[in-house]
Amino acid sequence: MSLIVQKFGGTSVADADRLRNVARIIIGAYRAGNSVVAVLSAQGDTTDDLIEKAREINPGASKREMDMLLSTGEQISISLCAMAIQAMGYPVISLTGWQAGMHTNSDYSAARIKRIRTDRIRRELDKKKIVLVAGFQGINRSEDITTLGRGGSDTSAVALAAALGADLCQIYTDVDGVFTADPRTVTGTHQLEEITFDEMLELASLGAQVLHNRSVEMAKRYNVNLEVLSSFSGKPGTKVKEVVSKMEKSHVSGVAKDKNVARIALIGLADQPGIAFKIFSLLAKRGINVDIILQSIGRDGSKDISFTVAKGDAEAAHQVMEDNKQAIGFQNVEVNTHIAKISIVGAGMVNNAGVACKMFEALFSAGININMISTSEIKVSVLVDEREADRAVQAVHDRFFNEFGSEG
Ligand code: ADP
Ligand code: ASP
Ligand code: MG
């Protein structure tokens, strides 16, 4: 007998029919002799709708109250799904994050799981019950409800799988698995049979929301047997694992797009030691994460530095720079929130000098200008104008994966 953790996303539980469909999948695993814990997301656009409701009342609501509100979405799903399973004649119990022992830190709206007390879940499993757990939520040391950040139910599921020592963690979603790019916006994509944790972590961090990046981080750390599959098609999904048996022919596993990027450029800095240190320590002190950094060559004693931050941090970063204009010493600061980051990811690119070049060539052929470039062993990212983002992803994807564009 195996222990399986399954997770169902918002589209998969959006209405009564879909909840019944999910109930049938869960019961199928249970009837096959497994212990089953299923983590559910809020139905459809519930989380977005709740955020909108809060905005109508108070756009500056505290994060604590936001978490109190947003956690209700998942509670609706687990109770309704439990009712569907009861109606089909199987023993089931639904548990909130708190009841399931999900303890987090107090970082409201972006809480991190600290530990999971699994005794309640185990007791229910021992009673041969199917256990449904509300995703995305936990409880902090003050016994307040916290949430894990958008898309966080994936992380709830993987964390539970790790804590319970589950044999398998299945992330059921609205596409058949992980594809070479978002199959909803890019044509000619194909599904990957398997992908490494490292590549999936990069893809997820670079904008492929099919998995929450922290869920992949956790799966890697605890070596969780992870699979992404559709709750609709019944087709085999994508396995996410430490080592995959075959490498993609083209050295690249996927292309991702992230529109949550803003670029801050500081023009006319003195070309002398200590400037970068000043800028980035000011940002670090305010907890603003910086991604890509570019410094121009110094000329006539002057240089420029630009860097990217998440869109939500752009205003704060801008303000910090303005507030410290004298101390840093620059002529002016420019903020651009109309950009997007396009990335290629692949463990196979580390030993292949031509991969980045192929990406740049694809963008050149499409007449798309590159603003910034950043590379690592397994990825190349470029910044482009937001309006060109979709065309850029398609052009790069065609170049690597389309049989006419690819050199293999
Ligand atoms: P869920 O509600 O099930 O958590 P999400 O909307 O969070 O689902 O994630 C699934 C979506 O991720 C897909 O519908 C797809 O549009 C998007 N996506 C982005 N990049 C990829 C990719 N490389 N492979 C598969 N899906 C992707
Ligand atoms: N309901 C939450 C969200 O929409 C969590 C999740 O779906 O994973 O972000
Ligand atoms: Mg999701």
Extents of the domains making up the chain: 3-174, 245-408
The rounded Å distance from CA 71 to ligand 2 centre is 9
What per-residue confidence (pLDDT) applies to 246? 67
The rounded Å distance from CA 255 to ligand 1 centre is 13
The rounded Å distance from CA 237 to ligand 1 centre is 13
**Per-residue three-class SS string for the chain:** CCEEEEEECCHHHCCHHHHHHHHHHHHHHHHCCCEEEEEECCCCCHHHHHHHHHHHHCCCCCHHHHHHHHHHHHHHHHHHHHHHHHHCCCCEEEECCCCCCEEECCCCCCCCEEEECCHHHHHHHHCCCEEEEECCEEECCCCCEEECCCCCHHHHHHHHHHHHCCCEEEEEECCCCCECCCCCCCCCCCECCEEEHHHHHHHHHCCCCCCCHHHHHHHHHCCCCEEEEECCCCCCCEEEECCCCCCCCCCCCEEEEEEEEEEEEEEEEECCCCHHHHHHHHHHHCCCCCCCEEECCCECCEEEEEEEECHHHHHHHHHHHHHCHHHHCCCEEEEEEEEEEEEEECHHHCCCCHHHHHHHHHHHHCCCCCCEEEEECCEEEEEEEHHHHHHHHHHHHHHHHCCCCCCC
Which ligand ends up closest to the CA of 153?
2
Is the shortest distance between the CB of 208 and ligand 1 below 6 Å? yes
What per-residue confidence (pLDDT) applies to 22? 98
Which ligand ends up closest to the CA of 7?
1
What per-residue confidence (pLDDT) applies to 405? 47
Is the shortest distance between the CB of 47 and ligand 2 below 6 Å? yes
Residue nearest to atom 10 of ligand 1 (CA): 210
Mutate to test the pocket of ligand 2, among 153, 160, 214, 231 (most ligand atoms within 8 A of CB): 153
Mutate to test the pocket of ligand 1, among 154, 182, 259, 396 (most ligand atoms within 8 A of CB): 182
What per-residue confidence (pLDDT) applies to 247? 55
Residue nearest to atom 21 of ligand 1 (CA): 182
What per-residue confidence (pLDDT) applies to 306? 96
Is the shortest distance between the CB of 44 and ligand 2 below 6 Å? no
Mutate to test the pocket of ligand 1, among 170, 172, 210, 213 (most ligand atoms within 8 A of CB): 210
Is the shortest distance between the CB of 137 and ligand 2 below 6 Å? no
Series of mean pLDDT values for 10-residue runs along the chain (408 residues)? 96 98 98 98 98 96 97 98 98 98 96 97 98 98 97 98 98 98 97 96 96 97 98 96 73 94 96 93 94 90 94 95 94 96 91 88 97 93 97 97 59
Which ligand ends up closest to the CA of 45?
2
What per-residue confidence (pLDDT) applies to 404? 56
Q: Which fold has domain 245-408?
A: VC0802-like (3.30.2130)
Report, at the CATH architecture level, how domain 3-174 is classified. 3-Layer(aba) Sandwich (3.40)
Ligand 1 atom nearest the C-alpha of 255 is 23
Is the shortest distance between the CB of 150 and ligand 2 below 6 Å? yes
